[in-house]
Structure 1
Amino acid sequence: MKKLMSIARLIFINLAIFLILLFVVNFLVGVYLKNSNTKSRADLPNYQDNREYARKIFQDYNKVNHLYEPFVGWKTKPYNGETTNIDEKGIRKTIAASQKSDSAKIVRFFGGSTLWGEGADDHNTIPSLFQKLNSDFKVYNHGQLAYNSRQNLDALISLYEEGKKSDIVIFYDGVNDAAFLCPSDVEVPGHRLVPMFRGKLYTSYFSMIKEAIGKIFFDKLILLSKKINPAERDEMYNCLSSPEKAEAIADFMLTNWEIAHDIVTSRGGKFYAILQPAAYVGNPRVDHLDLGPVLGENFRQVYKLFYQKIKEKQYPWVYDLSASFNGNEHIFIDFCHVSPNGNQIIAKEINAVLE
């Protein structure tokens, strides 16, 4: 009996040491991964004229939180910062040129984080810059982080159900449909957080314990494995290896645009759909960025189909602005988000579309 107790104690001590070492290694790998990505986007050449203010922009961005929202999945919580302000409805502030009359035309922008304005302050989002060009309009920024075209459609429907007026509706899409529907664990129709929602809803205690153990001992090691193993990275996306999925994504976005167009125009409004730029398409300057090649290959496959279907449909209300950033100017701050100079270009081009 004494010998069994001694063996059990030895096993327990060794197991405890192993778990402690595993926890420490996992923690240190997490620190390494965080430090390897700590180069702030504020340090990019895009912001060389005012890096301190750019840091404030990203500090505010990192403080923005989300809550559940019916149908669309999530929306931003209210927030008041030096560069970023979000009201109680989750709508980012659009800087108005002056107080608008009740008869002013209502213009509503829908899109993901690029439209919302990641990388810019309230004054330099696309809707705010468009508002400055059109002082007789009242402009709203309904952009939300990671929204794709279907979520924009659902958000639009919810607004009409609330009795909100819309004279002009603009969808700014493409990036989130291509990038966040291409992961292998996301189906069409879907959105970026489908795997997370499925993993957390109606889970058993066993699943919760398993997730907690994973976070404590394994999750950073798995991330490191994916970072250094090209084969694992390749398996993250399947639009290139599955042409039918890429086709489904392209049809998904065009159909969402068609439905939005029908809803808006049947209520007396005008609808415009904009295919947005991305660092993976066209000829923008990207030598200052570290872009993932695997995502790029899958992304281009979907955008190629976007171009094809837009050309086939010949809708007069669809505009391809994906080449708007071609040239030698530093505009992109990652594969899709841009500094204020990029938003200014898009605001002017959308203004020209409406004119």
Structure 2
Amino acid sequence: MKKWAKTTYTVLRNVIILIVLLEILLGIFYSYYDKSGIDSNTQRIIDSGVYGDLDPEIPKEIYRELRVQYMQWDAYTGYRLKEMKAKHHSINNKGIRSTLNLNLKDSTSAIKIFCFGGSTMFGGGARDHYSIPSELSKLIYKSYPELNIEITNFGCHGYTRAMENVQFLKEIAKNNIPDIVIFYDGVNEIISAHQNNEAGLPTNAFNRKKEFNLGYDYKNRIRLFLKSSNVFRLTKTLRAKLSTGKFYPKLDPRSDELAKDVASSYTSYVKISKALDSSYDFITFNFLQPVIYSKSQLTEAEKILAKQQDYYENLYDLSYDFIRKDSLMSKDSTFVDISNTFDNESNTIYVDFCHTGEYGNYVVAQKMMKYLKPVLNKKNEELE
């Protein structure tokens, strides 16, 4: 072997060894860094007072469990929650989170209430018995203790209304027909549109596009592998810091036209689910959820959060406004705008721009209960 070739081989070998060692060391560093990030963010949340007098260790446990909450492939929706049995999160092998269900006496004859939504319906940041469905269970039991009711929490992180419709159709195809259906949406429709710069797509659809045909496209496989490495993460972070002065630069705002598309997409999926009401004899409620930008009295902690993520604000404001003005939505009794739910709350409600603490879930459940009562009154009269 010629001297230059041997030297080149030695240099390449040493570079590869150094990169592998750097990857391993960065992996160890980021493992601890990400964990400390969860803990420091949780401490910020605790200090904001959003969890009131709750033992500070409980929110820390909640967010640590959320960090190790995994997804698995699911037909048509793309993914669902993986089974989990932890102190504050119980998810069965179908990806359904445990709900309190105080009224449940017999599942076969129970009045079924299906709850669909993203992480806010799932209850991100709350214990099993303090999610919106569980809080609804408490309120229903208080007013209608004799009714036999089963509430199912189908909420899943990142789900949009389009994905929820597919999720719902899968249940109908299995002849699992509810009596009442609750959709709680708005947040992920905007996040998805912002991510993809296109309305109506699943959240993180751009990542799934990159992963398509990986088994046959080796160049793309290598590219994705490199971009998933810790070394790439380091270089990307340093580049952002050097160019903007921040490790996590703000996202770019989106056009006003995208808001019209978001509203059109959302209302179309509402129409699709509404068409099933009479065919399967169930009652649907479409709740437009609150976000931090729609709360009239922000605390100092919430003002900081709103400012940090103000790149979403314009898209939310415009999209919600277009949805409200839609001719179908304005006349449809099943559509309920509850984005003003926290207008009378002077305490800190939000832990970020859309998720609330456990008290926030209770307030939302109270708001929903006002619209469920006429239906439940009728069910109660039939029982008598």
Distance in 2, matches of 1:265 and 1:231, equals 56
Contact 1:247–1:302 (CA under 8 A) maintained in structure 2: no
Distance in 2, matches of 1:19 and 1:288, equals 41
Structure 1 residues not aligned, in runs of 5+: none
Deviates more, 1:142-151 or 1:325-334: 325-334
Name 1:304's counterpart in structure 2: 318
1:246 CA drift (Å):
2.0
Amino acid of the structure 2 residue aligned with 1:246: A
Among 269, 277, 281, the alignment partner of 1:256 is 269
Contact 2:288–2:339 (CA under 8 A) maintained in structure 1: yes
Provide the secondary structure at the position in 2 that maps to 1:338: coil
Amino acid of the structure 1 residue aligned with 2:290: P
Provide the secondary structure at the position in 1 that maps to 2:336: strand
Structure 1 residues 220 and 348, CA gap change in structure 2 (3 angstroms): same
In the alignment, does 2:360 pair up with 1:333?
no
Among 319, 324, 336, the alignment partner of 2:341 is 324
Structure 1 residues 39 and 8, CA gap change in structure 2 (3 angstroms): same
Among 358, 361, 374, the alignment partner of 1:343 is 361
1:170 CA drift (Å):
0.8
In the alignment, does 2:201 pair up with 1:199?
no
In the alignment, does 2:139 pair up with 1:121?
no
Amino acid of the structure 2 residue aligned with 1:311: K
Among 83, 95, 109, the alignment partner of 2:88 is 83
Amino acid of the structure 2 residue aligned with 1:56: E
Deviates more, 1:41-50 or 1:246-255: 41-50
1:169-208 superposed matches below 5 A: 169-183=181-195, 185-203=196-214, 204-208=217-221
| TM-score normalised per structure 2 | 0.81
Structure 1 residues 48 and 227, CA gap change in structure 2 (3 angstroms): farther
1:205-284 superposed matches below 5 A: 205-214=218-227, 215-226=229-240, 229-230=243-244, 236-239=251-254, 242-284=255-297
1:93-172 superposed matches below 5 A: 93-101=98-106, 102-135=108-141, 136=147, 137-172=149-184
Cα deviation, 1:31-72, whole Å, max 9, x if unaligned, reads: 796355641325522225211122222232223211111111
Cα deviation, 1:309-339, whole Å, max 9, x if unaligned, reads: 3234312211111121233212111111111
Deviates more, 1:217-226 or 1:325-334: 217-226
| TM-score normalised per structure 1 | 0.87
Name 2:376's counterpart in structure 1: none
Contact 1:26–1:221 (CA under 8 A) maintained in structure 2: no
Structure 2 residues not aligned, in runs of 5+: 142-146, 374-384
Distance in 2, matches of 1:10 and 1:244, equals 56
Greater percentage in helix = 2
Distance in 2, matches of 1:280 and 1:24, equals 41
Amino acid of the structure 1 residue aligned with 2:115: F
Identity of aligned residues (%): 23
Contact 1:182–1:246 (CA under 8 A) maintained in structure 2: no
Distance in 2, matches of 1:26 and 1:319, equals 48
1:287 CA drift (Å):
2.5
Deviates more, 1:130-139 or 1:27-36: 27-36
Deviates more, 1:42-51 or 1:230-239: 230-239
Contact 1:186–1:194 (CA under 8 A) maintained in structure 2: no
Amino acid of the structure 1 residue aligned with 2:105: K
Deviates more, 1:212-221 or 1:282-291: 282-291
Structure 1 residues 217 and 61, CA gap change in structure 2 (3 angstroms): closer
Structure 1 residues 69 and 186, CA gap change in structure 2 (3 angstroms): farther
Contact 1:106–1:138 (CA under 8 A) maintained in structure 2: yes
Structure 1 residues 231 and 71, CA gap change in structure 2 (3 angstroms): farther
Alignment: residue pair count:
352
